[in-house]
Amino acid sequence: MTSPSHVPVALERVLELLAPAVEAAGDRAVVVDTTLGLGGHSRAFLETFPRARVIGIDRDPHALRIARERLAQFGERFTAAEAVYDDIARVVAEAGAPTVSAVLFDLGVSSMQLDEADRGFAYAQDAPLDMRMDASGPVTAADVLNEYDARDLARVLRVYGEEKFAKRIADNVVRAREVEPFTTSARLVDLVRESIPQAARRTGGNPAKRTFQALRIEVNDELRVYERALPAALDVLDVSGRVVVLSYHSLEDRITKRRFSAVTTSTAPRDLPIVPADQRPRFTLLTRGAEVASPAEIEANPRAASVRVRAVERVAAA
């Protein structure tokens, strides 16, 4: 039986949002799953839209092997590409698709990566401090902890983890590593807990959560990659094509909101009676603000608790 951690988040809503674009494209429909993982969303696309092709992108070769095996039954309708998703234009072109009908971003760390203790993503298990989504990446979480100076480490924790006690944690890390370098997660969890005042530990779950998020984002350059990937995904969309984004923290959602606002807003002066075609927005919003999961979905799949869903449709060519 599939564990809750492997249930695709917001699956029904994602299918509902993408269906008009995919069904209208018919035999030309191409869906890009930029965060393939174990292939849960991609399987649903292939089963729900029997005339569509699906291109799955992932930087993790282990995830790609599993997804290929799980989706082999769909034959040539499914293509997997080992790439970082800001390379979407190249991946789509190499798959022979001039444009695509739909794109999904399911951001953050995958359930498989959380479940594999030796990857070091989960603060609840003692594991090597790795956190690379692609094991060939040059920097690990241990490298960040052991090599960054206190100022840079505090910046990472403050900006990427939105950690109020970033300076205190960073200073304590620098002192502790002089005695012994950081290699595993349990020691870091203990240090973070000791660095945060007791009153601040009473709410918000594990106090190490924000530090682990910050390290993961830094190691994988996640936000800068996403800032390049989202515009690239919008560019490969056909007219009437749609992009859906599932984000799990405010940093990702802020990037999505800002980009979607930019492409759905006219560049003409507000008082202009007739807006020239080249100043009209090329996209329209499909969601009002950021949608959240229902209580029923959160109960069935706890990972959905923090999801924010946003979507746009392309209404005009470039």
pLDDT tens by residue, 120-174: 566 667 889 999 988 878 899 999 999 999 999 999 999 999 999 999 999 999 9
pLDDT tens by residue, 262-293: 999 977 677 777 767 777 889 999 999 999 99
Residue the block writes with tokens 């090599």: 147
Residue 46 · residue 52 · CB < 8 Å: yes
| Residue 5: predicted pLDDT | 45
Would residue 285 be called left, alpha or beta, if left means φ above 0 and alpha means ψ between -120 and 50 degrees?
A: beta
Query: Using CA atoms, how far apart are residues 177 and 188, in angstroms rounded to an integer?
Result: 10
Q: Where are the beta strands (DSSP E) in the chain?
A: 30-33, 53-58, 78-82, 100-106, 237-247, 283-285, 308-314
pLDDT tens by residue, 226-253: 999 999 999 999 999 999 999 999 999 9
Q: Return the ∠ at Cα 231 (arms to 230 and 233), rounded to 5°.
A: 65
Percent of the chain with pLDDT over 70: 91
Query: Using CA atoms, how far apart are residues 159 and 166, in angstroms rounded to an integer?
Result: 9
Percent of the chain with pLDDT over 90: 77
Query: Using CA atoms, how far apart are residues 103 and 244, in angstroms rounded to an integer?
Result: 6
Question: And the tokens for 92?
Answer: 């789509």
pLDDT tens by residue, 194-231: 999 988 776 667 889 999 999 999 999 999 999 999 99
| Residue 274: predicted pLDDT | 76
| Residue 205: predicted pLDDT | 72
Residue 280 · residue 316 · CB < 8 Å: yes
133, 139, 143, 147: CA torsion to nearest 10: -140
